[in-house]
Amino acid sequence: MFNLRYFFDPSHYKAGGPVIVLASGEDSAVDRLPYLQKGIAAKLAAATNGLGVILEHRYYGTSFPTSDLSTENLRFLTTAQALADTAYFAEHVVFPGLEHQNLTASAVPWVAYGGSYAGAFVAFLRVLYPDVFWGAISSSGVVKAIYDYWEYYEPVRQYGPAECIKTTQSVIHVVDTILLNHTSLVGQLKKTFLMPNVTYNNDFASILGAGVGGWQSKNWDPAVNDPSFSEYCGNISSDAVLYPATASMNASIHSLLSATGYADQAKTLVPRMMNYIGWLNVSEVAPCAASGQTQDDCFSTHIPEFYEQDDLSQSWRSWPYQYCSQWGFLQTGSGVPKNQLPIISRTQTLEYESLICRDAFNITTPPDTNAVNYIGAYNVSYNRLAFMDGQEDPWRPATVHAPEAKPWNRTDSTDQPFILIAGAVHHWDENGLFANQTTKTLPPAPVANAQKAEESFVQAWVKENM
C-alpha cells in the first residue's frame, strides 16, 4: 500500500452532488491546482453542486510506491496499475471534513476529466471501470499509442504561419543535406550556427527544432501562453536582419546555400537564416555560455552517466519510462514521408529519440503499445464518454479526431459528446479565468462554447443518476 496525493475543493458541494475528479496524469498534482481554482474542475463542480478533486498518478509528485526510481522499481509504473489506483480511490476515499457523507462511487456519480495522457487515461477509466465512473471527459486524449509519432509536427506544418513553415522547411533541408550528404561541411555549419562544440550531429539538429517545438505550449490565456513559437516565427519570417552581429555569417551562409542547391533563394534565405541564428543564440546558445557549461553539457542527450541517476529526486524518469515501455510517441523527423520536407531534422530518428530508453532503463525494444491500444485506440467509445480535441493540436493525430480515426463516422450527442475546438491547441478547455478576469475575447468563443457544452452535458449525465 502507498499513498496517492490528492486535493479537493468542497466550496461548490451540496448534498447529492457528484464528485468531479481531474486526473493529473504525468505531472505533479500541484501543477493542476489552477484547474481546481478556476479551470474545468471548478466550472463543472459549480455547475453540478459537485466536489472538485485533483488526483495524483502513481510515480509523480509525492505519490511514490517505491524507495527509488530504479528500473527494477519502475516495473510497477503501468497505465493499468494507475487506472486500478484511481478506481480504488473512488471506491474508498473519505474526504476530511466530510466524513459524515458517503462520497464514494457507490453512493454518488463520479465524473473524471483528463487532458493529454490523462485524457486517454480517463477514457480508459470509463471503459474499464464503468461501474465506478459514471462519466468521463477526454480532452486531447491520446488514445492511440504510436511508436514513431512523426505526425506530431503535422498540425504545426498545416496550421502554422505559411512563411514561417516554408522557411523552416528550407533551412532544415539545407541542414539535413549537409549532415547526411555533405559531411565535409558539418564543421562550417555548426560554426555558422554558433554551436561548433556540439559533438553529435543529431544533438545539434535537435536544438534547431527548438522554435517549432513551442507550438504545443501556445494557449489562449496570455498568463499561460508560451510565446516562443510566435517569437521564433517572427524572427525567421523577417526579411530585415534583426541581429546586426549575424552579418559576419553572410558569406558562410551564402556558401552553405550554394552547396545545397539553394543559391537561387539566397536573397530570401540569407537574412532569415541570420535571424534564425540570432534567435537561437539569444534563446539557447548564449544562456548556455552564461551558465558556464559546455555546449555538450547543455545540448547533448548522449549522457549515460546522467541517466544512471535513479533516486526519488530524479522525477524526469517517470514519463520516459512510460513512453519507452508502453506509449511510444517518439517524435521523429525521419518518419516524415520522403516526398515532404520536414520541419525538424531527419537525423531525429527512432534510434536517437530512444537513447533515453536504452541508457536510462535498458529498454532496447519498441514499446508494448498493445498494452494500451487493446482498449480501443481510435475506436474507443462508451456512453457518457466525451471527447474534446483541439483542431490545431500536435497530439490530434493520436486522438479520436485524427484523420486515421475517421471522425466523420461519429456524431456529437449529449450521451457521447464529440467536439473539435476550432483553432485550439492542447486541451485548451482545461484552464479558465476567474469571473473578474473574463473579457469579450477571453476565453475565445470556441473555448467558452466548449466549456459551456461540458457543463451542460455533465449536468444531464448527473440527472440520469438521480
- Residues assigned a catalytic role: 116, 393
Coil/strand/helix, residue 45: helix
Contact 246, 179 (CB under 8 A): no
DSSP letter for 67, please: S
Q: List beta partners, residue 136.
A: 112, 385
Of the candidates 276, 277, 254, the one whose C-alpha atom is nearest the C-alpha of residue 264 is: 254
What is the distance between the alpha carbons of residues 311 and 77, in angstroms, rounded to a whole number?
Answer: 15
Contact 417, 457 (CB under 8 A): yes
**Residues with Cβ < 8 Å from 306, sequence gap 6 or more?**
none
Widest CA span of the chain, in angstroms? 77
Strands (E), 232-364: 328-330
What is the distance between the alpha carbons of residues 179 and 177, in angstroms, rounded to a whole number?
Answer: 6
Contact 22, 114 (CB under 8 A): yes
Could you tell me the three cell numbers for 222? 496570455
Coil/strand/helix, residue 111: strand
**Residues with Cβ < 8 Å from 107, sequence gap 6 or more?**
none
DSSP letter for 225, please: -
Contact 242, 281 (CB under 8 A): no
Q: How many other β-carbons are positioned within 10 Å of the β-carbon of residue 258? A: 12
